[in-house]
Amino acid sequence: MPKPKDRRTRAAEMWAAGKTLREIAAALDVSHPTVLEWVKGLPPRGCRTCGSPRPNPKSLYCKPECRPSHRPPSPPGPGVRRPVTDLTGTPLAAGGLVLGPADPPRSSGNAPRWAVRCGCGRGYVARGFTAADLAARCRACSYWATNPGAAKPEINTEYGFWTVLGPAPRRGPLSRWRCRCRCGAEGVRTTTELLRDYSTRCRACNVGPTWAKTCAACGAAFTGTKRQRWCEPACRPSRQPGHVSTPRVRTPAHPPSAATPTT
């Protein structure tokens, strides 16, 4: 009766037959490092594709080009860019107009960038090779077009003291509007400020009642609020040259009595 082969001899035979280390470890019920230690002294096997000696016994192929899933490198050469047609002056479907190339004229995605004026008067940047590729509206008009029930300020309508004159250039995610106060001052307010009464008038009209007063420094007559004492910021004592501010000394609310010794 032939003597059964030990696992090391069987590992050498399986190694010579072309089995991988993982397959040998699973068949003999040993760990992967143990199989690697057994096959260290054995002659290296050839590549599965070309039969050349393999520098790394863990690998089945001598070089990456022998792998079946290997992709050949693309031939070197300059990248070909799609030609760009000048769209300056092209009208868009929603009443917009292409003003010209934006700065920078190209984005990382190789698409040209164009400065566009929306039909509402706002400016934005759109990307595309043709007029059909460009966004026909700004973000605010696109939102109101897809959400017809969303509230927005109406032109020539009063909100508090503000009268909406028209849209203003967008800054961030908020829509802004040019407004005129009843006193004649103009400002820019957002949709939220107008519709929720966060801003109802300009800063001058928001001060409240004023009085005829006399400046405490120069004696000039001026119109100011109830607590205002100086006609100009330069008249304040802290603005005068050579002024040294004295630190405020706080007196304790309950001073210690003479009969109570202090430590």
At residue 179, the pLDDT reads 93
Average pLDDT, the chain: 77
Of residues 78 and 28, the one with the higher pLDDT is 28
At residue 234, the pLDDT reads 80
- Angle of helix 21-28 relative to helix 7-16, nearest 10 degrees, comes to 150
Q: Which of 49-58, 119-128, 181-190, 199-208 bottoms out in mean pLDDT, i.e. has the lowest?
A: 49-58
Task: Answer whether 191's CB lies under 8 Å from 174's CB.
Answer: yes
Q: How far apart are CA 45 and CA 24, in angstroms?
A: 15
At residue 201, the pLDDT reads 84
Smallest CA-to-CA distance from 140 within 159, 161, 127, 122 is with 122
Average pLDDT over residues 148-177: 82
Of residues 250 and 204, the one with the higher pLDDT is 204
* Phi-psi region at 227: left, alpha or beta (left = phi > 0; alpha = psi -120 to 50): alpha
- Encoded amino acid at 76, one letter: P
pLDDT at 261 over 60: no
Containing 97, the helix (H) or strand (E) segment is strand 97-106
Of residues 79 and 159, the one with the higher pLDDT is 159
Q: How far apart are CA 10 and CA 5, in angstroms?
A: 7
At residue 255, the pLDDT reads 60
At residue 2, the pLDDT reads 47
pLDDT tens-digit series, residues 179-226: 998 888 899 998 888 888 888 888 877 766 677 888 888 888 887 777
Tokens 């609310």 correspond to: 253
255 CB neighbour count, 10 Å cutoff: 7
Average pLDDT over residues 14-22: 76
Look up the pTM and report it: 0.38
Q: Which of 20-34, 72-86, 104-118 bottoms out in mean pLDDT, i.e. has the lowest?
A: 72-86
At residue 125, the pLDDT reads 87
- Encoded amino acid at 102, one letter: A
Task: Answer whether 27's CB lies under 8 Å from 21's CB.
Answer: no
Task: Answer whether 112's CB lies under 8 Å from 128's CB.
Answer: yes
At residue 1, the pLDDT reads 42
Burial of residue 263 (CB within 10 Å: 0-12, 13-18, 19+) is exposed
pLDDT tens-digit series, residues 91-111: 887 788 899 888 877 766 678
- To the nearest whole percent, how much of the chain has pLDDT over 90? 3
